[in-house]
Amino acid sequence: MGKGSGYGKVILFGEHFVVYGMPGIVSAIDSTDAEVTKAVKGINIKDERKTAKGYSEKKRLQQIESIERMLKAMEVDPKIGLDIWIGGSLPGFSGLGASAASSVAIAKAIAQELSLQIPDERINQIAYEAEKAYAGNPSGIDNTAATYGGLMWFKKSMASGPDTVEKLHMRKPVEIVIGSTGKVANTKAMVEGVAERKKKNPQKYDPLFKQAESLAVAGRRALEASDLKKLGDLMNENHRLLQEIGISSKELDMLVDLARKQGAFGAKLTGGGGGGCMIALTPGKDLQGKVLSAIKSLGFEVLGTKIGVNPY
């Protein structure tokens, strides 16, 4: 049996804007594990992740396509039979990079089962190919976080060269709360929606993209200085930009407002939007607990974790 794992992630700055070469900041969170065994025939998937209702069913076709893409990128016979188990601590909620985490986990497990020596750099490229099934035109931020973990600065190369990936450091890890709207979102449709609106209305969108770039730069400065008040303000500002490009939702806005009212330093949607998850910056266990309980009391799934954890 081959085994592998990949990290989930929260995007602190720059989702959607990263697709167009703007910088983004991402922190790895929990991980997805995979186990793979050769089978007589077919790709047989047993998905035991905790998920939002309907997640596995809605993602099934994209999941199959992603594995086909992965096998092609790995130059493995597409007719190979594989039993694939997926589990781990990362929930299958939209927005947390669950698809990229599973792609990295499965690619590593296939490599081990077939005795292929594949360095992480290549695993990252394979997962990028697999991500196309879920995101259409992915930036690469999710698979990069899923492969390497940590807190990182990411900038997609818009030419043929490599993406810019730099590890960032905070003085100490900081508590966050993740709230899930429970709605399964289609990242590909969200990315396509932004592309269409951007093309139709460049006068509105171009300045917003410039602002997103400045925000990421300021966010990096605040993170590295551990200026958490500033960091929170900038996250709020990022949420406003995401609202303006049309990817927030009623539930996301409601959870973001709730978290801020409970004292979160900042809150924003995270990932593809249109459902999925939001994050709140809640330094200290007490504040984290307060925001977590408030979201939970309305019947939403929550997760308390930290950003900037080493060795994530």
Which residues have a catalytic role annotated? 142
SS3 12: strand
For tokens 């190369």, the residue is 157
Measuring CA to CA, which residue among 9, 17, 12, 11 is closest to residue 158? 17
Distance between CA 300 and CA 294 in Å, rounded?
9
- Return the residue of 66, 187, 248, 262 that touches ligand PMV, per CB under 6 A: 187
Kindly tell me the number of DSSP H helices and DSSP E strands found in the chain.
9, 10
Span from 13-21, 47-55, 79-87, 225-233 in contact with ligand PMV (CB under 6 A): 13-21
Measured from the CB atom, the residue of 8 and 266 that comes closer to ligand PMV is 8
Contact flag: residue 94 with ligand PMV (CB under 6 A): yes
Residue with tokens 């407002």: 257
Q: Pairing relation of β-strands 174-180 and 164-167?
A: unpaired
The nearer residue to ligand PMV, 214 or 297, going by C-beta atoms, is: 214
Structure tokens at 235: 């996250």
- Residue 162 Cβ, how far from ligand PMV at the closest point, in Å? 16
Binding residues for ligand PMV restricted to 224-283, rule: CB under 6 A: 271-272, 276
By the rule CB under 6 A, 142 interacts with ligand PMV: yes
Tokens 């994050």 sit on residue? 279
How distant, in Å, are the alpha carbons of 47, 91, 211 from that of 33? 10, 11, 37
User: Binding segment for ligand PMV among 37-45, 88-96, 261-269, 303-311 (CB under 6 A)?
Assistant: 88-96
**Which residue, 94 or 248, has its beta carbon nearer to ligand PMV?**
94
Q: Is residue 133 part of the contact set for ligand PMV (CB under 6 A)? A: no
**Binding positions for ligand PMV, rule: CB under 6 A:** 15-16, 18-19, 94-97, 99, 135, 138-139, 141-142, 187, 191, 271-272, 276
